[in-house]
Structures are given as structure tokens and as C-alpha cells.
Amino acid sequence: EVQLLESGGGLVQPGGSLRLSCAASGFTFSNYAMSWVRQAPGKGLEWVSGISSIGGTYHADSVKGRFTISRDNSKSTLYLQVDSLRAEDTAVYYCAKDGGYMDVWGKGTTVTVSS
């Protein structure tokens, strides 16, 4: 079964950091681009960051310079390092298999930025 499982979310103070992880199974992880998409409480979906199968990275302007996407193909795991967190980064963060359209999604991990 194709599956993505996120972890690493939590409550963090403004200015703090977290590392989100996404463990993939059921498909050849190294062959696919991957993305992180977030959803603030009561709001719509926002693409945050993407990484190609060969490691090229892309970030939304809203997180550029603060978030870093990476992958470890030997562990079939996607990461998102989130630094300098702001209240507006509070959201559920989903990882997704990215062929342009996103056909496999994890259940999400919640990041709450609050003092």
C-alpha cells in the first residue's frame, strides 16, 4: 500500500524551529518529486515547498529563507526544516507525492506557533 506518514509537529514559540519528517512506503521514493502543502485553521491549501527526484528545491515566497526541504532517498524520507517560525505558520502540514498533481497525501502533522 502506498503510504506517507508525517511526524515532528508540535507547539513552538515564535522564532523557534522544528524539523518535520515524512516517511514514504509502497513506492520507489527516489523516483518521485515530493512537496509539502499546509493548511491554516479554517483556511485553504497552500503549497509550501517542493523537491525534485534529483534534489532540486523550490519554496513559496512566504517561506523562502526560513524553510528548507530535503530528502534522504536511502531512508525514503522527506524533511522540512522550519525556522524563524511565525504565528501565521500555524497549520497542518501535509507531505504529498508530486507529479505536478498530488496523488498521494499523508494525514498531516500540526504545527502551532504560540507563546
Partner 1 sequence: DIQMTQSPSTLSASVGDRVTITCRASQSLSSWLAWYQQKPGKAPKLLIYKASSLESGVPARFSGSGSGTEFTLTISSLQPDDFATYYCQQYNSYGWTFGQGTKVEIK
Among 23-31, 57-65, 74-82, 83-91, which window interacts with partner 1 (CB under 8 A)?
A: 57-65
Among 16-24, 45-53, 68-76, 83-91, which window interacts with partner 1 (CB under 8 A)?
A: 45-53
Regarding 105 and contact with partner 1 (CB under 8 A), the answer is yes
The residue from 50, 51, 109, 111 that contacts partner 1 (CB under 8 A) is 50
Among residues 33, 12, 114, 88, which one has the least CA distance to residue 22?
Answer: 33
The 3-class secondary structure across the chain, one letter per residue, is: CCEEEEECCEEECCCCCEEEEEEEECCCHHHCEEEEEEECCCCCEEEEEEECCCCCEEECCCCCCCEEEEEEHHHCEEEEEECCCCHHHCEEEEEEEEECEEEEECCCEEEEECC
Least distance in angstroms from the C-beta of 16 to partner 1: 25
Regarding 9 and contact with partner 1 (CB under 8 A), the answer is no
Based on CB atoms, which residue is closest to partner 1, 59 or 89? 59
Which residues in this chain contact partner 1 in the complex, by CB under 8 A? 35, 37, 44-47, 50, 58, 60-61, 94, 100-103, 105-108
